[in-house]
Chains A and B, each alone.
Chain A
Amino acid sequence: MRYGYYPGCSLGSTAAPYDQSTKAIAKPLGLELEEIHDWNCCGATEYFSIQKTAAYALVARNLALAANQGGITQLTAPCSACYLNLRKTDNYMGKYPEINAHTNEALAAGGLSYKPGSLKVRHLLDVVVNDVGLDAIKEKVTSPLKGLRLAPYYGCLLVRPTLGEEVDDPEYPTHLDELLDVVGATVVDFPLKAHCCGGHMTQISADTAYELIRRILQNADEYKADAIVTVCPMCQLNLDAYQSQVNGHFGTSFNLPILYFTQIIGLAFGMKPKELGIGKEIVSASPLLSKIGAEVEEPEARPARRRRDDKSLPMPKI
């Protein structure tokens, strides 16, 4: 399976472990990730609010480069913001002729052009879950993450806005849950799984961002998660790097490691933590590593018989 790979700026700096772990698991997963030559920044979340044509052109340049790079039809991005920008630009250029015309005019200045729809933009998580497939991943798991309680955190940009052909439910997605289940971890119910991490609000209004980060950490903590698993460098940075500030601000004492889903897959494949960039995080993941493989009591195979005096009502099936 061959994909154009758009790492985005974060993966070269704060999210280097994401890049490292992605490349480490690509081979066993059978993914051929071909980096787009001379790619540029996607403009992140703000640029579209400042100058539309330039913002679309900035993103479309990457699309144009990818589409011209020898037979690439699918473009994957590990960062949710990059993924959204690439997907939105492709989608809007197809939907709105005016945006298409302006953007291509701008691209022409650099001798490029892009025909909307020529690439299918996919998030790395979608590629792993739906193209590689959960069964194939399950087969490759050598050290199941038994006893590890993980909170699946999707963030807001992966599943919103709906542009058609959605991968998962925008309000309560579950495909990361399924992946974590397959690698042997215990997935905790995580009601805030698709809520915002604050994004760049840490730079604009720190108090607002701290509150958003606190909610997510607290919710994972309440469900006794050992770690939060993310699919986005922004989410990882906010939850990890600002955790001590949040603790100071609210007088809390959260100590939750924040890992990328690619690192989790790598661990389940028996790779060394160092190969996966684990150790570079700010809230250390080492307590979690020692838990892997620890013996835990298996729940009884048969549900206990209902006691005669049990008055509780049955739960609906999901």
Chain B
Amino acid sequence: MTEKVGVYICHCGSNIAGQVDVEGLAKWAKENLDGVVVARDYKFMCSSLGQELIEDDIKNEGLTRVVVGACSPHLHEKTFRRACANAGLNPYLCQMASLREQVSWVTEDKELANTKAKALISGAVHRVQFQKELEAKEVPVNPNTLVVGAGIAGIQASLELADAGYQVYLVEREPSIGGHMAQFDKTFPTLDCAACILTPRMSDVGAHPNINLLSYSEVEEVSGYVGNFDVRLRKRARYINEDDCTGCGICIDKCPKKVIDDVFEAGLGYRKAVYRPFPQAVPKFPVIDTESCIYFERGTCKACEKFCPTGAIDFEQEDTLLDLNVGNIILATGFDLFDVRRIPQYGYGRLANVFTNLEFERLCNAAGPTEGKVVMRDGVTQPKSVAIIHCVGSRDVHYNEYCSAVCCMAALKFGHLVKEKTGAEVYSFYIDLRTNQKGYEEFYNRLLEEGMHFIRGRVAEVTDAARMPGEEGKLIVQAEDTLLGKQRRIPVDMVILMAGLESRADAHDVALKFGISCSMAGWFTERHPKLAPVATMTDGIFIAGTCQGPKDIPATVAQGAAASARVQSMITRGTVEIEPIVATIHEENCSGCRICNDLCPFNAIDFDEEKKVSVINQALCKGCGTCVAACPAQAISGAHFNNDQIFAEIEGLLYDAVSGNGAKAAEPAKESVPA
């Protein structure tokens, strides 16, 4: 081996130096490891002075390989690769050893830390000498963007992109855009009405020349890679010709079939079989629901067709498939509400006056089924007392362990609305009140002043079984008041269950479709929880809003805008570099068994039917190595992770156990001879 290796040990302040003898380590590397011509230690290797140290050595000492013993490559690999490139060395000839995350932070014993640090440096020095020059590929970025989900996150992201002059395809599963926010009444803590602030944004989307709105549609297939995604959409049949429909709504008036609206009205109101979820719906075109339409059930009726003044009804319409090419994708698919029926002791579905939070939003909403009147299930009687139960399905080991983040504030908002509209007594059963954003604590104080009662305790059950005088005909909420240390039974007229947020029921399938990952609970995983909150591990796919985790409207809007900013920077740059750490199939060795095709988590491997061999699309490949390990003919090699490199690294790591590798072998442990 004729490589000249430079070894650089970072102190990271006292992060590494506090636990590892950094000077000694550098000295040891120079003296004991083959190929090392320079070994230095420095306070902060990532500082510009530290980087210059490396650059100067490459120029002056003629280094051909660089090893940096510092933090995890997740943090600074790019920094040191760039330093090498600046000095004219191919950046893939630089290797990092994680002395901080894998040694100093996790090893208590100093001696063991030093031994481990030596092993890691030795491994890196061995491996780096086998590393090969690699060149990153540049591909152009299609400036069009796909946004999936048109709640407030998707709307925000789309508008920001469209206003910047870029074309957006906005896909929404439901007949109208607006998402959950369109269902809400007031928004906390300012109490401005959700519709008043949302509907202008919705009509902006509908009218924007740069936004191609595809409602009642879903993404079927995604392939391709950053800058160049091929997407197939299914536009479901509305049975209404959008070119002819004026949105006059006569069809809705004339439709004789009324059904319960489980989606927009949360099961609390009715809609027709041909419907628009709400008056301000965007787009304005109604949809015929084939499940409930009399014509689709019995073959007769067609009342809507008879009365439509423009002949826009088309019972023969079929789903259409649309193929798009986009450069980036933003997922803003939102959340599902926790199904409160899973906690039967709270009585939802059995006890008429137990409502969910979403039902209550509709109850308060002036456009809702009761025109904003807060009444009990009979539709007439105002409640005189209301209990609000927090954390239903959240912070509970039986259901979801996480906090749903929005329910405390929504409960306070409900308390205010109940008091304002009915003057009823309001009891909040909470575990902890979490009011940790701007203006939230002030809102809590306001409710304390308004006389809302706060009882700290998780509710055991809601029952109509009266036990004490005054309980007859009421719903009794039983809980242990953990501040008093006493069981309490509060009889009330109405109970609101603050159901938590859950990921969409199909979140795992969606993640798979787009090639991103999600947590066990189904929330999409961001690239970095702090520094890359809207990016994913898949380049060109971004996430925004509650599909990433529970959050309120301000945070959701911020993420929508953030995702759009990330996309804009990709578009403005125009091209994107693709990592050259990918796998390659050597055709002459490939038997065409196709084992690798299904294993690839990124769908990067296709089968060439003519040559009968598998082929890797290098733009899609992430270099994970699954196929390399699985190939029975060893016909696949992974760049930057070939056998020579890996075996050299193992040999280096075991420097004190393997003889003849240049490092002084540790003395073999003396065998104990039985006396």
Contacts and interface: CB of A to CB of B under 8 A. Distances in A.
A215 B461 contact: no
A317 B268 contact: no
B345 A172 contact: yes
A318 B463 contact: no
Nearest to B350: A189
A219 B465 CA distance: 6
Given A169-B344, A189-B350, A318-B341, A313 B465 contact: no
Interface in B252-286: 260, 267-270
B464 interface: yes
Interface string B380-396: 10000000000000000
A169 B342 CA distance: 9
B378 A312 contact: yes
A315 B375 CA distance: 14
A172 B466 CA distance: 18
B379 interface: yes
Interface in B617-659: none
Interface string A117-152: 000000000000000000000000000000000000
> Which of A189, A310, A311, A316 is packed against the most chain B CB atoms within 10 Å?
A316
B374 to A, nearest CB: 12
A314 B378 contact: no
Contact of A313 (B341, B370, B461): B370
A134 to B, nearest CB: 20
Contacts of A171: 343-345, 461
Given A312-B379, A315-B377, A317-B349, A192 B344 contact: no
Nearest to A314: B260
A154 B466 CA distance: 19
A172 B462 CA distance: 12
A311 B379 contact: yes
> Which of B345, B359, B375 is packed against the most chain A CB atoms within 10 Å?
B345
Interface residues of B, number: 29
A275 B147 CA distance: 71
A184 interface: no
A255 B466 CA distance: 19
A123 to B, nearest CB: 20
A169 B341 CA distance: 12
Nearest to B348: A316
A222 interface: yes
Nearest to B379: A311
Interface in B195-242: none
Contacts of B359: 316
A191 interface: yes
A316 B465 contact: no
A215 B467 contact: yes
Interface string A297-318: 0000000000000111111111
B515 interface: no
A80 B267 CA distance: 39
B352 interface: yes
A313 B349 contact: no
Contacts of B189: none
A310 B350 CA distance: 20
A311 B268 CA distance: 11
Given A171-B461, A311-B378, A316 B349 contact: yes
A311 B350 contact: no
Given A169-B344, A171-B344, A219-B465, A318 B377 contact: no
Interface in A260-318: 310-318
Nearest to B259: A314
Interface in A8-41: none
Contacts of B592: none
A89 B183 CA distance: 52
Contacts of B352: 315
Contacts of A316: 267, 341, 348-349, 356, 359
Interface residues of A, number: 19
B533 interface: no
A94 to B, nearest CB: 22
> Which of B343, B350, B375, B465 is packed against the most chain A CB atoms within 10 Å?
B465
B50 interface: no
A169 B343 CA distance: 9
B377 A312 contact: yes
B369 interface: yes
B263 to A, nearest CB: 14
A311 B380 contact: yes
Interface of B is mostly: loop
A310 B349 CA distance: 20
A314 B267 contact: yes
Interface string B303-327: 0000000000000000000000000
A215 B465 contact: yes
A136 to B, nearest CB: 27
Given A312-B377, A313-B268, A191 B349 contact: no
A314 B464 CA distance: 19
A313 B350 contact: no
A192 B349 contact: no
Given A169-B344, A312-B378, A318 B349 contact: yes
A195 to B, nearest CB: 9
Contacts of A311: 370, 378-380
Nearest to B467: A215
Interface in A148-192: 169, 171-172, 189, 191-192
A192 B106 CA distance: 53
A192 B460 CA distance: 13
Contacts of A219: 465
Nearest to A173: B344
A315 B270 CA distance: 12
Nearest to A215: B467
A208 to B, nearest CB: 14
Nearest to A315: B352
B390 to A, nearest CB: 18
Contacts of B466: 222
> Which of A219, A310, A314, A315 is packed against the most chain B CB atoms within 10 Å?
A314
Contacts of B345: 171-172
Contacts of B463: 191-192
Contacts of B268: 313-314
Given A189-B350, A222-B465, A313 B380 contact: no
A161 B256 CA distance: 52
B590 to A, nearest CB: 48
Nearest to A162: B398
Contacts of A218: 465, 467
Contacts of A191: 347, 461, 463-465
Interface in B470-508: none
Contacts of B378: 311-313
A318 B350 contact: yes
A318 B343 CA distance: 12
B366 to A, nearest CB: 16
A315 B467 CA distance: 26
A263 to B, nearest CB: 25
A287 to B, nearest CB: 24
Contact of B349 (A169, A215, A315): A315
Interface string A49-87: 000000000000000000000000000000000000000
Contacts of A222: 465-466
Interface string A188-200: 0101100000000
Given A310-B379, A314-B268, A315-B349, 17 more contacts: A171-B344, A171-B461, A191-B347, A191-B461, A191-B464, A191-B465, A215-B467, A218-B467, A222-B465, A222-B466, A311-B370, A311-B379, A313-B375, A314-B260, A314-B269, A316-B349, A317-B267
13 contacts: A169-B344, A189-B350, A191-B464, A215-B467, A311-B380, A312-B379, A313-B378, A313-B379, A314-B260, A314-B268, A314-B270, A315-B349, A318-B341
Interface of A: 169, 171-172, 189, 191-192, 215, 218-219, 222, 310-318
CB-based closest 10 A-B pairs? A311-B379, A172-B344, A318-B349, A171-B345, A312-B379, A191-B465, A219-B465, A191-B463, A316-B349, A314-B260
